Structure 1
Amino acid sequence: MSNVTVQADGLRQVLRLPQIIALYIGSVVGSGILLIPGMAAEAAGPASILAWLAMSLLVVPMAVTMGLLASKYPSAGGVSHFARLAFGPQYGSLVGWFFYLSVPLGAPVLAVTGSQYLAVLLDLSHDQLYALAAVMLLLPIVVNVFGLKLAGGVQTAVIAMIIAILLLAIFAAIPHQSAERFTPFVPHGWFSVAQAAGLLFWCFIGWEAVTHLSSEFVNPERDAIRGVLWSAGIVALLYFSVAYFTIATGSYGGAASAASLSMMVQLSLGQAGGWAVALAALFICFAGPNAYVSAASRIAYSLAREGAAPKVFGFVSPKFGTPTGGLLFIAAGSFVTLGLMYSGVITLSQLIQWPNATFVATYLAGCLAGVKLLKGSKLGRPAAIISFACTLCLYPFLGWSALYPPAIAVVVWLIGRRGKRKA
């Protein structure tokens, strides 16, 4: 007789602690680790290690908050669902918009990041680099038009590849570290450390991604918390180690900042190690946009059906049954963004701060929802309060990009007001 429990909704409770930990690690550790360690070190120097330490501590209450919300209010809607439950449908829709409008900015960042890892090895020209990035950007959009998704086994392989790259980079860097590279420790002033912490948020998003699977946990009340605590510790250790050795080996500065992992691996393994990292980076930077484009197009479809977005966003291809209205907007916005990067109007390090701001705003909404929804939890409510307070303190250091979420809120309000007038 099977010991598998079947829920009323037909889903089987099959996920135990090891699988839950793997899912959480896979949802958090992603393309950011290819880009952010070198950029943070370039922005704040060796003192950027303090920003990594601060974010590693902040992520614990944040992970606990998301883990508890996932176990108590399981839904594919993620943070937007929590905001909807706590504050009403308008706030839930706003969080959905935060996610949707981060994709036309974030997807080009990933496409260029993957391309730069290959460009370092092949000495590609500026035009060649962006031609490759355009192909990487177009591919997940086309894949999603046809309604295809990467198989779960392939996504698992991507996760395993990321962790393998990180461990390879760490061990390859050990013989080449030097304490001299930590002086001067604060070359750009202490304010740059706070700014680096804001940039680092890109690496710590994803704790809400396992929300829709929590109803399939064998013991959600126990394992949701244990899973996030174990995974938060492992993620923090991996990130901190990579950041430390990025600084200790001097694998940053100029073009090296965007391909710091490749530079670290090449210290011991030469060009062969660089090729392994570059090919893996291309794969990783396709998997990320593929998942985000798929999710964002469906969010656009849902928003349109709720009357919170233009009707064109709800258009579904009669042939493939995919939400092509939302996909077309993502495609147009993504290629405009890539064009701005190509022309030099905005740099990679500047652009990444804008989608990062929407993710910070999303977590602020999730933590605030946690304060209300986790009132009866002795652990959850304090964790939500701490997470909200710390993330709110981080928000001003996002710079001009901090204006992006409020701008989205104004546009959403205007759309909602126009819809009410028509009604």
Structure 2
Amino acid sequence: MEKTSANAAGLSKTLSLPQIVALYIGAVLGSGVLLIPGMAAEKAGPASILAWLFMSVLVVPMAVTMGLLSARYPSSGGVSTFVRMAYGDRFGNMVGWFFLLSVPIGAPIVAVTASKYAAVLLKWSDAQVYAMAALILLTVLIMNTFGLQVASRVQTAVVALILAILVLAVAAALPHASVSHFTPFAPHGWLSVIKAAGLLFWCFIGWEAVTHLSEEFVDPRTNAIRGVLWSAGIVALLYAAVALMTVATHSYGNGLSEASLSVMVQLSFGPVGGWAVAVTALFICVASVNAYIGAASRIAYALSREGSAPRWFGRLHATYRTPVGGLAFLACCFAAVLGVLFLGWVDLARLIELPNATFFATYIGGCIAGVRLLHDSRIGRAAAWTSLAVTVTLYPFLGWSALYPLVIAAALLLWETRKKE
């Protein structure tokens, strides 16, 4: 009886505007800022700056769509709730499972990425890399058990540190910038700019994650859209600045692209700069994992309430009112995925394609829902249609991994059919 009352009480509203902005930035400003500027510059040369500007503008409709939906329909179900309201329970639950089954794979990949940055400097073995990754995931799980108020405060501090270091990196690169590095401007042709833009799309995914936390926003109708606009502006400026300095200092090519930020910082600070970037990489990955674990545990809670997931997924902590059932599910999945990676059964590059596909499918579902739910808003309607056109156009280019969401959908339909029998 006591457990039922606890669940009925629901989740606590603890997230203020600064914490919401920090969660959005942490979700979007992931490891891409460490890898993609150099890779994009190598692909398109200085013209890659145009791709960054294009994607920075193009991502605004996507962020606005998610922000407006969160403001109108705050729920721990996030995108799945929006789809459920627009098209019914079956499709809402399907989108919820798309997102939920992204995080058990995506979070360990990010944690391993952070560990490998440290491993380069500390000469760690594979066992030490995966032990560190497990420690990162365990720490974030514990933070989320104590509640989003604790997790979001840590997130705010971490994001502030990340922003400070990235600003320092850009400032340190300024004395080494040269106009000569911008010629030839498009050495690989203008088509390469379009290819670079497709690569950059992954740097701007993350808006959907925080929608799952909107039930815990203080004044979601006002703060959801403000949080989106503030974070979109900050993220776009940071990406553009880092990308511009990467080109201006020619910190890419000849094996440097995947560590372009480290190369750029070391121009002024030497090896100390390399350590700063390694620490920054760790914090960036922790911030990203924190946002996604918080979101996934709440979608597990929401799916349980809808009867589309096992009942224990919906268990809340008696004191902290946090979804410990969902966190327990994630912990089990993390252990399995880290084990598979450690044993070498699949490599990181191949595995990352799966959560990319389900994140994409989640966005498509959210955009389709936005078309219907935001029809009475001129801005919302335009944002939703624009986002839908972009995501649907890019989805076929995912290759074989585009089948992963279809497999999840088929498994869910089979499970629901057997449940009715």
Same fold (TM over 0.5): yes
Contact 1:100 1:300 in 2 (8 A): yes
Contact 1:120 1:259 in 2 (8 A): no
Pair 1:206-2:207 in alignment: yes
User: Runs of 5+ in structure 1 lacking a partner?
Assistant: 1-8
User: Runs of 5+ in structure 2 lacking a partner?
Assistant: 1-9
Pair 1:153-2:153 in alignment: yes
Structure 1, 190-199 or 332-341: larger mean CA deviation: 190-199
Contact 1:71 1:215 in 2 (8 A): no
How many pairs align? 409
> If the length of structure 1 is used for normalisation, what is the TM-score?
0.80
**Other-structure match for 1:194:** 195
Structure 1, 235-244 or 208-217: larger mean CA deviation: 208-217
Amino acid at match of 1:194: K
1-structure distance, mates of 2:142, 2:136: 10
Amino acid at match of 2:152: G
Deviation of the 1:97 alpha carbon: 0.8
Contact 2:62 2:384 in 1 (8 A): yes
2-structure distance, mates of 1:190, 1:347: 30
Contact 1:44 1:196 in 2 (8 A): no
Summarize the alignment of residues 197-276 of structure 1 with structure 2, pairs less than 5 Å apart: 197-198=198-199, 200-206=201-207, 209=210, 212=214, 216-217=218-219, 220=222, 228-252=228-252, 257-276=257-276
Specify the SS of the correspondent of 1:154.
Answer: helix
1-structure distance, mates of 2:136, 2:255: 20
Note closer, same or farther for the CA distance 1:358–1:51 as it changes in structure 2 (3 Å cut): farther
Q: Deviations over 1:85-114 (max 9, x none)?
A: 111122221121111111111112211221
Note closer, same or farther for the CA distance 1:182–1:131 as it changes in structure 2 (3 Å cut): farther
**Other-structure match for 1:6:** none
Summarize the alignment of residues 21-420 of structure 1 with structure 2, pairs less than 5 Å apart: 24-25=24-25, 27-41=27-41, 48-141=48-141, 147=146, 150-178=150-178, 179-180=180-181, 185=186, 190=191, 193-194=194-195, 197-198=198-199, 200-206=201-207, 209=210, 212=214, 216-217=218-219, 220=222, 228-252=228-252, 257-311=257-311, 313-314=313-314, 326-342=326-342, 346-420=346-420
Structure 1, 47-56 or 356-365: larger mean CA deviation: 47-56
Deviation of the 1:167 alpha carbon: 0.9
For the aligned residues, what is the CA RMSD?
3.9
Q: Deviations over 1:181-218 (max 9, x none)?
A: 76584659947953762563343322662672797449
Contact 2:316 2:325 in 1 (8 A): yes
Contact 2:78 2:299 in 1 (8 A): no
Structure 1, 358-367 or 314-323: larger mean CA deviation: 314-323
Amino acid at match of 2:202: F
Deviation of the 1:29 alpha carbon: 2.8
Structure 1, 179-188 or 384-393: larger mean CA deviation: 179-188
Note closer, same or farther for the CA distance 1:383–1:316 as it changes in structure 2 (3 Å cut): closer
2-structure distance, mates of 1:293, 1:62: 21
Note closer, same or farther for the CA distance 1:274–1:393 as it changes in structure 2 (3 Å cut): same
Note closer, same or farther for the CA distance 1:254–1:156 as it changes in structure 2 (3 Å cut): farther
Specify the SS of the correspondent of 1:85.
Answer: helix
2-structure distance, mates of 1:348, 1:307: 34
Note closer, same or farther for the CA distance 1:12–1:323 as it changes in structure 2 (3 Å cut): closer
Contact 1:116 1:258 in 2 (8 A): no
Contact 1:118 1:278 in 2 (8 A): yes
Deviation of the 1:405 alpha carbon: 1.8
Deviation of the 1:224 alpha carbon: 5.9
Specify the SS of the correspondent of 1:379.
Answer: helix
Amino acid at match of 1:209: V
Amino acid at match of 1:95: V
Structure 1, 409-418 or 244-253: larger mean CA deviation: 244-253
**Other-structure match for 1:5:** none
2-structure distance, mates of 1:314, 1:225: 28
Deviation of the 1:118 alpha carbon: 1.7
1-structure distance, mates of 2:26, 2:319: 33
1-structure distance, mates of 2:381, 2:203: 24
Contact 1:199 1:356 in 2 (8 A): no
Amino acid at match of 2:295: A
Deviation of the 1:384 alpha carbon: 0.9
Structure 1, 39-48 or 410-419: larger mean CA deviation: 39-48
1-structure distance, mates of 2:355, 2:21: 26
Specify the SS of the correspondent of 1:364.
Answer: helix
Specify the SS of the correspondent of 2:207.
Answer: coil
2-structure distance, mates of 1:107, 1:281: 14
1-structure distance, mates of 2:347, 2:196: 16
Contact 1:198 1:397 in 2 (8 A): no
1-structure distance, mates of 2:11, 2:124: 52
Specify the SS of the correspondent of 2:270.
Answer: helix
Sequence identity of aligned pairs in percent? 55
Deviation of the 1:69 alpha carbon: 2.0
Note closer, same or farther for the CA distance 1:322–1:73 as it changes in structure 2 (3 Å cut): closer
1-structure distance, mates of 2:68, 2:146: 32
